[in-house]
Amino acid sequence: MMADIRPENKKMAKLAKLKKQFLRFASARTDIYYARQAYQLIQQCPFEEITLHLFTSMVVSYCRPFTENTGIGNLTVEFPEYPDYEDPMMNLRHSRMMDVRNKFLSHSSVEGTGLLLIPPGITNPLNQLKRKDWDYNIGKRQFVQPSQRAFIDWIAPICDALGKRLDRKVHELLPLIGEQHQITDRAFEIDTGANSFQWTIPEPGSPSSIRPGVVKTKKPLVGKIFYPARSSFLDSAF
């Protein structure tokens, strides 16, 4: 049986491929926008506790395009050799960013956790108090040599470098995909080929440990709406 190669089908296949490519670049560009925004807020933030949370946001946002994203895929589909900068220090920054995400910030790992046991009657070095029973301190790894801020400042340029590359790609593809749709009299949302976001529906008596994605509840929640989600469109410019 011969494949259908009529012009209209070839055009549809070309549009589908172009749309997937554009969606991958545009989605990654937005993630990097969040990472760059988090770094800008870090520069303005005087509180170390808040800085740590902003750094988590920065790292997770930067690394998001390099995970298996549903319906979009990994950005290395488009950049198979990435990181491919001439400056080896930039490539190292990407590697460090992925390590921080995978080993410390996105998961609770042994590598990223420290545990200190304090026997009865011994001074707790954190609060300088003594207890009659056992106590403990637990900490998540931070990068404090020479300082947390210095490490963040060192690693942040990779966000700008990737952001500028994605900026160019998005603007290269944007007129091409626009011309394919042939709609010029109104703004329109393109079909991404995926269903809209839906919350997982909890089922009574079904522990999540048995059925992943199902939450155990006492009463059914059918017919109730809890925080409907919708797209929030961002400014197209960084």
Q: Is 83 exposed, middle or buried (0-12, 13-18, 19+ CB in 10 A)?
A: buried
pLDDT tens digits for range 146-202: 578 899 999 999 999 999 999 999 999 999 888 887 888 888 887 776 666 677 776
Residue 238 lies in a domain: no
Among 157, 132, 154, which Cα is nearest to 143's?
154
- 8 A C-beta contact, residue 105 and residue 58: no
**What are 45's two structure tokens?**
């933030």
Q: What count of Cα atoms within 13 Å lies in the side-chain half-sphere of residue 199?
A: 14
151 shares its domain with 226: no
- Do residue 225 and residue 151 come from a single domain? no
226 in the same domain as 156? no
How many residues are present in the chain? 238
Indicate whether 160 and 210 sit together in one domain.
Answer: no
Which residues have a Cβ under 8 Å from the Cβ of 165 and sit 6 or more positions away? none
pLDDT tens digits for 9-49?
777 777 788 888 999 999 999 999 999 999 999 999 998 88
Higher-scoring residue by pLDDT: 79, 232: 79
**Do residues 100 and 209 both lie within one domain?**
no
Quote the DSSP letter at residue 79. -
Do residues 29 and 75 both lie within one domain? Answer: yes
Task: Tell me, yes or no, whether 45 and 66 share the same domain.
Answer: yes
Which residues are 137's β-sheet partners? 116
Question: What is the pLDDT averaged over residues 124-142?
Answer: 84
Residue 135 belongs to some domain of the structure: no
State pLDDT tens for residues 76-122: 999 999 999 999 999 999 999 999 998 888 766 666 677 889 899 99
Looking at the structure, tell me whether residues 105 and 41 fall in a common domain. Answer: yes
CA torsion through residues 170, 98, 92, 112, sign: positive
Whether 179 maps to a domain, the answer reads yes
Domain extent at residue 211: 198-231
> Number of structural domains, the chain?
2
Look at residue 166 and tell me if it is in a domain.
yes
Does any domain span residue 52?
yes
For residues 77 and 34, state if they share a domain: yes
Q: Which residues of 13-29 are buried (b: 16+ CB within 10 A; e: fewer)?
A: eeeeeebbbbbbbbbbb
My answer on whether 209 and 96 are in the same domain is: no
DSSP 83-121: S--SSHHHHHHHHHHHHHIIIIISS--STTEEEEEE-TT
Q: DSSP secondary-structure letter at 4? A: -
User: Does 184 map to a domain?
Assistant: yes
For residue 146, say if its preceding peptide bond is cis, omega within 30 degrees of 0: yes
**Residue 163 domain flag:** yes
In this structure, of 54-68, 107-121, 138-152, 219-233, the range with the lowest mean pLDDT score is 219-233
Element (H, E) at 136: strand 135-140
Q: In this structure, is residue 54 part of a structural domain?
A: yes
Residues 87, 205: one domain? no
153 with 214, same domain? no
